[in-house]
Structure 1
Amino acid sequence: MKKLTSKTVPPNIRILKYPDITIAKNYPTVGPTGKKKMNVNGLACSIEMYFGVDVLTRNNELIPIQWKGFEEKEKKYQGEIADKNYVQETFRKKLRKTEVTEIEDLNKLLNGIFNAYK
């Protein structure tokens, strides 16, 4: 985001940060320091993190964030959900149900995007 905010963009483009969500404040991660719970808001919250705790859970445990490459300029690791394909497929199954619940975080994300253009 720091790189993008210094750029001139057309008026039909918005630079937005995904909103912080409660589940990401104390989320399991795996990386160079081993297994650790931490606040991943603003660091590793891809859209999958907004699909609901039911989608992010497998075998009664949250699927961890896997820290990947180190961003030298930011002095931070980049991370993503460890089993993204599983999470995405579980979300597709959730959407096929007649009544979908637990999408408050996704609504928060989408409303942020839609409201950026008001």
Structure 2
Amino acid sequence: MDLLDKVDDDDRFSLRLILLALPEAEVILDVTDLVSGGWLPDQPLKIASGGMDEMRTVASTHAPTVVLTEGRTDAEFLSAALSVLHPHLTDLIRFLDFDQRNEGGAGALVRLVRAFAAAGIANKVVALFDNDSAASDALRVLNTTTLPPNIRVVRYPDIDLASTYPTLGPPTMEAPRGSLDQANVNGLAGSIELYLGRDVLTLPDGAFRPVQWQSLHKSGYHGVVTDKDQIHELFRAKVDAARRNPSKVAEQDWDGLCRILDKILTAFRSSRG
């Protein structure tokens, strides 16, 4: 045992060496004194699983937080925003590589969260859902209270811009091309595009690119911002400008993305609700 004492202060290493040296032997560890002294729980069967949970917790503090999103552009744009607004955190926050995923959307993200939970991933994981009706419907089947403590589920936040936003309704006899009305689209049409900034969402005439109402979900109508491809191009140009000249950031609108990044950075500060 003198040799084993020199290996490591953790007795589990010594126990592991014994098991490797004598694979057919039955090794019994008497923890009676530890249990009666209050050092271990009174249910010995939980000692091993509790030890594994403790090791995963310790490991997760030294590993980057993994962020799961609904789509490829969500991961791309949030990663870009992080590099512009918080460049010192890029090694601590990693967005899942969508090249390794076959599908996107809220339903697919729910399945991915369940897979991560079942696999016992040690990293801290933030599952980030859109702020729309599709996400609300998908989250109905996910019991977040049963997830491991290293997995948190959050959504894009409500923002003032979306509380009174132009929307394009379905065609009617009076308005064959659809009617344009103001509406609160928080919780109904909050995809990543709505958070990319007023400077990206504004048309040449000064109006915002409207939300187009589409299908009806259990949680309400689902809407998407029009001209997505153009919005994406404008945002990528905005990021390039900020990287070339960091002083440009003060002139650009990053408020929506700041709010999302804050959701990620504070996901583990409070108890899970």
TM-score with structure 1 length normalisation? 0.86
| 2:199 counterpart of 1:54 | yes
| Cα deviations by residue, 1:23-59 (Å, 9 ceiling, x for unpaired) | 1111001122722111111111111111110100112
2:157 paired residue number: 19
| 2:264 counterpart of 1:113 | yes
- Match runs of 1:32-111 below 5 Å: 32=170, 34-59=179-204, 60-71=206-217, 73-74=218-219, 76-97=220-241, 98=245, 99-100=248-249, 101-111=252-262
Deviation of residue 80 (structure 1)?
A: 0.9
Unpaired runs of 5+ residues, structure 2, are 1-135, 171-177
Higher strand proportion (structure 1 or 2)? 1
Unpaired runs of 5+ residues, structure 1, are none
**Aligned residue type for 1:81:** V
106-115 vs 12-21, which deviates more? 12-21
- Which whole-Å CA distance do the structure 1 matches of 2:236 and 2:141 have between them? 32
Considering only CA atoms, is the larger Rg found in Structure 1 or Structure 2? Answer: 2
Higher helix proportion (structure 1 or 2)? 2
- Which whole-Å CA distance do the structure 2 matches of 1:79 and 1:49 have between them? 11
Higher relative contact order (CA 8 A, sep 6+): 1
Q: For 1:61, what is the secondary structure of its paired residue?
A: coil
Q: 1:15 and 1:93, CA in 2 relative to 1: closer, same or farther beyond 3 A?
A: same
12-21 vs 88-97, which deviates more? 12-21
TM-score with structure 2 length normalisation? 0.40
| Cα deviations by residue, 1:87-114 (Å, 9 ceiling, x for unpaired) | 1110110111122221022101111122
- Match runs of 1:1-20 below 5 Å: 1=136, 2-6=139-143, 8-20=146-158
